[in-house]
């Protein structure tokens, strides 16, 4: 029986490679479809304590090893992405209808909202060293706020029109993507440098190497040398097969699915994808070191603590996993 299950799963999986999927993004609420799904996760403390968000507008605090979760806030909106400002004890939430909501992490009160013109944003980037918060909307507009200067919007040069800010470095460099290229702009010095490489920025390390996503593969790119160090794909699709006494087994189907996000520390790169797995890659060579398969739901968020010693992930089934690095 198990053989036939595996054969059927492989047949179904292979059929995906011949199907063209068209996705239309609409401004409809997803809360009724999946109210328990976690949409994002961000660290509150040095390790083991995090905030998670939901489509239903709730934010919870969770502690590693404890089953109970503490509700921090509940807003009448969908939340897609979270950032935590430890200095002010504030959460910044990208929402469907409220722009960016600034939430007191102690009381749950919405202190202020930053408007997004006639559309919405789903991803934020923030750097605590310089107090800069940024996002972009679905019409291609970018928003960069100086938190220390009463959330003043920074002006960007014409070259950055219709480009998306995705990463902010402590030295003032802001990395943008769009128009089939990557651009690095320093908001302090006004220096601007384009790179002839395309992709979605997932992370930038301390040596200015960029983790770029492009469908089923990711690229590790050295921006200082303008050189691609390597490209990699998730080599297979690990599928959970239910067994006796609730014990699952894993079948690795030989399919490459889309890589959704990535993070880099000093030695490794961590990626997750539509295959619901997390992959650990040796940063210097791109060799696959380990595959983690605890998630049964689609992974929707990942964060590392400041010291890069622990990783946390959440999925659309409302599950959370901590990983000691």
CATH number of the domain that residue 219 is part of: 2.40.10.480
SS3 of 113-181: EECCCCCCCCCEEEECCCCEEEEECCCCCEEEEEHHHCCEECCCCHHHCCCEEEEECCCCEEEEEECCE
Tell me how far apart the alpha carbons of residues 108 and 286 are, in angstroms, rounded to a whole number.
42
What does the pLDDT read at residue 32? Answer: 45
What does the pLDDT read at residue 117? Answer: 84
Tell me how far apart the alpha carbons of residues 171 and 189 are, in angstroms, rounded to a whole number.
10
* Domain co-membership, 206 together with 286: yes
In tens, the pLDDT along 64-105 reads 999 899 999 999 999 999 999 999 999 999 999 999 999 999
- Residue 222's contacts (CB-CB under 8 Å, 6 or more residues apart) are 207, 208, 209, 228, 229
* Domain co-membership, 168 together with 212: no
Task: Summarize the confidence of residues 220-235 as an average pLDDT.
Answer: 96
- Give the residue from 163, 196, 229 where a domain finishes: 196
Question: Average model confidence (pLDDT) for the chain?
Answer: 90
More confident residue, 138 or 13: 138
Is the CA virtual torsion 114, 116, 121, 123 positive or negative? negative
Q: Is 206 helix (H, G, I), strand (E, B) or coil?
A: coil
- Asked if residue 206 is part of any domain, the answer here is yes
- Asked if residue 218 is part of any domain, the answer here is yes
- Asked if residue 88 is part of any domain, the answer here is no
- Give the residue from 136, 162, 196 where a domain finishes: 196
What does the pLDDT read at residue 145? Answer: 98
Give the β-pairing of 268-273 and 278-282.
Answer: antiparallel
Number of domains, the chain: 2
Question: Which of 208, 195, 188 minimizes the C-alpha distance to 129?
Answer: 188
* Domain co-membership, 272 together with 209: yes
* Domain co-membership, 188 together with 206: no
- Asked if residue 177 is part of any domain, the answer here is yes
- Asked if residue 186 is part of any domain, the answer here is yes
- Asked if residue 81 is part of any domain, the answer here is no
**For residues 292 and 323, is the Cβ–Cβ distance under 8 A?**
yes
Is the CA virtual torsion 290, 295, 300, 306 positive or negative? negative
- Asked if residue 34 is part of any domain, the answer here is no
Task: Decide if pLDDT at 288 tops 70.
Answer: yes
* Domain co-membership, 182 together with 210: no
What does the pLDDT read at residue 115? Answer: 95
Task: Decide if pLDDT at 31 tops 90.
Answer: no
**For residues 205 and 264, is the Cβ–Cβ distance under 8 A?**
yes
pLDDT-based confidence at residue 128 (cuts at 50, 70, 90)? very high
- Give the residue from 196, 227, 245 where a domain finishes: 196
Task: Decide if pLDDT at 167 tops 50.
Answer: yes
Domain of residue 289, residue span: 202-293
* Domain co-membership, 216 together with 288: yes
Task: Decide if pLDDT at 20 tops 60.
Answer: no
DSSP state of 283: T
Task: Summarize the confidence of residues 286-292 as an average pLDDT.
Answer: 98
**For residues 2 and 248, is the Cβ–Cβ distance under 8 A?**
no
Rg (CA), the chain: 20
- Asked if residue 317 is part of any domain, the answer here is no
Please report where in the chains the tokens 């769009």 appear, as a residue.
Answer: 178
Give the β-pairing of 152-153 and 142-146.
Answer: antiparallel
Give the β-pairing of 217-222 and 227-233.
Answer: antiparallel
> What's the distance, Cα to Cα, between the start and end of the chain in Å?
38
What does the pLDDT read at residue 34? Answer: 67
pLDDT-based confidence at residue 245 (cuts at 50, 70, 90)? confident
* Domain co-membership, 227 together with 153: no
Tell me how far apart the alpha carbons of residues 27 and 25 are, in angstroms, rounded to a whole number.
7
């Amino acid at each position: 029986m198990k053989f036939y299950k595996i054969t059927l799963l492989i047949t179904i999986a292979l059929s995906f490679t011949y199907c063209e999927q068209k996705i239309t993004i609409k401004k409809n609420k997803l809360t009724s479809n999946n109210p328990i799904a976690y949409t994002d996760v961000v660290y509150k403390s040095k390790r083991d304590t995090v905030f998670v968000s939901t489509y239903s507008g709730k934010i919870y605090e969770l502690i590693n090893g404890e089953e109970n979760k503490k509700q921090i806030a509940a807003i009448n909106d969908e939340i897609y992405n979270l950032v935590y400002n430890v200095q002010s004890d504030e959460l910044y939430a990208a929402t469907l209808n409220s722009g960016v909501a600034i939430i007191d992490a102690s009381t749950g009160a919405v202190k202020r909202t930053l408007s997004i013109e006639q559309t919405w944003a789903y991803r934020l980037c923030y750097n605590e060293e310089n107090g800069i918060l940024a996002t972009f909307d679905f019409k291609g507009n970018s928003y960069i706020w100086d938190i220390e200067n009463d959330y003043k919007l920074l002006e960007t040069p014409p070259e950055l029109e219709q480009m998306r800010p995705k990463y902010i470095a402590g030295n003032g460099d802001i990395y943008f993507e769009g128009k089939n290229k990557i651009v690095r702009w320093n908001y302090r010095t006004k220096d601007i440098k384009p790179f002839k490489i395309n992709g979605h920025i997932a992370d930038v390390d301390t040596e200015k190497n960029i983790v770029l996503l492009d469908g089923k593969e990711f690229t590790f790119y050295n921006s200082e040398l303008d050189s691609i160090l390597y490209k990699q794909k998730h080599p297979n699709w690990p599928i959970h097969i239910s067994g006796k006494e609730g014990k699952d087994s894993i079948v690795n189907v030989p399919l490459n699915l889309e890589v959704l996000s990535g993070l880099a520390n000093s030695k490794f790169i961590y990626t997750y994808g539509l295959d619901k797995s997390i992959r650990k890659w040796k940063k210097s060579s791109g060799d696959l070191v380990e595959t983690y398969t605890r998630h049964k739901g689609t992974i929707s968020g990942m964060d590392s603590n400041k010291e890069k010693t622990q990783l946390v992930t959440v999925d659309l089934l409302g599950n959370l996993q901590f990983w000691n690095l």
